[in-house]
Amino acid sequence: MTRKLLSLLVAIVMVMTAIPFAMAEDAPMKITVAGYMFGPIDDTKDVITPAVEKMLLEKHGINVDIVVEYIEYSDYSDILAPRLVPDADGNNNAPDVFLALDKLDTYYDQGVIASWDIDFFKENAPDVWNFIESGCVNGELASQFDLWLENATKDGKMVIVPSLKPDGSMPYKTLIYRGDWLENLGVSEDELPMTVDEFVDLMTRFAKEDPDQDGEDDTYGFSITAIKALFGAYGMYNGFINGSSYWYEEDGELINADVSPKSKTVLELLRDLYADGVIDPEFVKGTERAEGQYWAASVGLINGLYGASANASIDHYRLAGVTGPNDEGGPVAKTYWEVNGPDAKFVYAPWPAGPDGDYGWAIDYAVAVSESAVYNKMLENDPEKLATIFKIMNAFATDDELYMLASWGIKGEHYTDTDGVLERTMDNAALNEVGVWGCRSLYGADRAYSELAYNLAFYNSPAIANRYKYFVLPQYDSYILNAVSVTLPSEGKLLADLQTLRDEAYIAFIRGEKPLDEWDAYVADYMAAGGQTLHDEANEWFANK
């Protein structure tokens, strides 16, 4: 064989060998994400995800195939759980990116989410890090950075990129009454209850005085979420049912609302109201929505079973026209009108105050982890993909055009812009169908870490301004803040069982199946089941913060 022919063959072999590598380099990296969605994406209608992928490639050199998975929010954790179970090789079939909700500690303890060095995040998402560290827009949240970092890390490594936003610490629930029932009972809006006694009186009238005027004894005063207003009247937020109760400080010690003597006082009141037929017996379900219904809807309030609910925010019951001429109202408001007629009224109401002037629902810190994304443990074996995910987050933080495409869609088709006032042209589910918000958990919790995103979502939002219009009224704001601003070390192992113990005991107390003389026995059982451990951890943290 001549040297020339040999050289030619070697060249051919080298070219042939290089082809697969070139093809592999050109193949997009597949990233699966299951964020907060109102409905599934329709692949035949999705125009946003392909456009986002194209823009990421052309403007940022990020070549990815984004696969958006829909998991119904109301049952998100339960649906996801079996997919997180690892096989014999330690692999699972969960998405790369999914929501933490209230499972961050559980996921971490189970070893199903990734962790990474802080420097790794800084390297791949430097603008996100700088935005957060500097306090976001105009440095307003700079004092919250240490709390953000504390929530972002476990054992010295990051496990989540928490949200840090001003609306995270604004009131997010409101008390809602049926307007027709108030009218039928001759109660004007300036006569709404301001105290617990007045609230109990009105709820009793809702149950006993035929407020729907159908001649039947078929109404109740309130259901599970309005029960929380009574705990709030005694200065605490109680998670009953299915939720975490807050800690509060008294005489230098932190006490959990689950075992607070104040909760016993509320249970005494609830027991009497239940015996009198004022509380909807279905409160034991712990939810007010019907299966398949929008999570914030209260089926009993909408269908005229009871007259008071605190299951949603003012924006869920937003009146038509607030955000622009095409605004048909909040999602729960629209359902309310569909059932009760277009002229049916509901009333935003003040929180009833207790004997010491306390009132309200919980509020949060500006830092939150529940709506933020976590990352599949398998990504620890694929640091390139994890780095790419953070680079995508950084691209959204620096590229307003990219963020607008992913979060608002195509101008003139999915939203209008009238002198800077943006208005969506479809409902939330329809927007999800075409791909809007599909990348939500890739760019942040619910928005990118950028000034534009924060202005659109909060500072310049007519919906936010509408909420604040009511929050300045007496007792329309809520103020109850958890005295523990971090996750306690043993919460992931103990909290679920403690909540079950509490819920079962409270239900039995309220229904009269267990006498309140057994309260001390319940507290002893609770503390023995892990409550004492959390109490000690909370007070140790409090003493050293």
Strand partners, 446: none
CA distances 215 to 178, 209, 212, 275, Å, are: 18, 9, 8, 22
User: Burial of 33 by CB count in 10 Å (0-12 exposed, 13-18 middle, 19+ buried)?
Assistant: buried
SS3 525: helix
Report the sign of the C-alpha dihedral through residues 66, 68, 69, 71, in that order. positive
The b-or-e profile of 55-82 (16+ CB within 10 A means b, else e) is bbeeebebebebebbebebbebbeebee
Over the stretch 6-57, which tens digit does the pLDDT of each residue have? 444 444 444 444 444 333 357 999 999 999 999 999 999 999 999 999 999 9
* pLDDT tens-place values along the chain, 545 residues long: 444 444 444 444 444 444 443 333 579 999 999 999 999 999 999 999 999 999 999 999 999 999 999 999 989 999 999 999 999 888 999 999 999 998 998 999 999 999 999 999 999 999 999 999 999 999 999 999 999 999 999 999 999 999 999 998 898 899 999 999 999 999 999 999 999 999 999 999 999 999 999 999 999 999 999 999 999 999 999 999 999 999 999 999 999 999 999 999 999 999 999 999 999 999 999 999 888 888 899 999 999 999 999 999 999 999 999 988 889 999 999 999 999 999 999 999 999 999 999 999 999 899 999 889 999 999 999 999 999 999 999 999 999 999 999 999 999 999 999 888 888 999 999 999 999 999 999 999 999 999 999 999 999 999 999 999 999 999 999 889 999 988 899 998 999 999 999 999 999 999 999 999 999 999 999 999 999 999 999 999 999 98
DSSP assignment of 471-505 equals: HTSTTTS--EE-S--S--TTHHHHHHHHHHHHHHH
CA distances 282 to 75, 290, 303, 465, Å, are: 19, 12, 14, 35
Report the sign of the C-alpha dihedral through residues 101, 104, 107, 113, in that order. positive
81/178 Cα distance (integer angstroms): 38
SS3 316: coil
- The single residue listed with the structure tokens 């409101």 is 174
DSSP assignment of 92-118 equals: --S-SEEE-TT-HHHHHHHT-B--B-H
Which helix (H) or strand (E) is 23 found in, with range? helix 3-26
SS3 29: strand
Q: For residue 535, which of 482, 480, 490 has the smallest C-alpha distance?
A: 490
442/496 Cα distance (integer angstroms): 29
272/283 Cα distance (integer angstroms): 15
Non-local (6+) Cβ contacts of 106 within 8 A are: 492, 496
441/447 Cα distance (integer angstroms): 8
- The single residue listed with the structure tokens 């060095």 is 117
Task: Look up the pTM and report it.
Answer: 0.76
Over the stretch 406-462, which tens digit does the pLDDT of each residue have? 999 999 999 999 888 888 999 999 999 999 999 999 999 999 999 999 999 999 999
Terminal C-alpha separation, the chain: 80
Sorted by where each starts, the structural domains of the chain and their CATH numbers stand as: 28-169+367-449 (3.40.190.10), 174-360+477-544 (3.40.190.10)
Task: Give the pLDDT of residue 25.
Answer: 59
What tokens appear for 329 in the block? 């109202």
What tokens appear for 467 in the block? 């909420």
482/491 Cα distance (integer angstroms): 15
φ, ψ for residue 156, nearest 5 deg: 85, 0
φ, ψ for residue 171, nearest 5 deg: -60, 140
What tokens appear for 271 in the block? 């027991």
Torsion of CA 346, 350, 353, 357, to 10 degrees: 180
Strand partners, 85: none
Q: Are 404 and 367 in contact (CB under 8 A)?
A: no
Task: Give the pLDDT of residue 58.
Answer: 98
Q: Are 304 and 212 in contact (CB under 8 A)?
A: yes
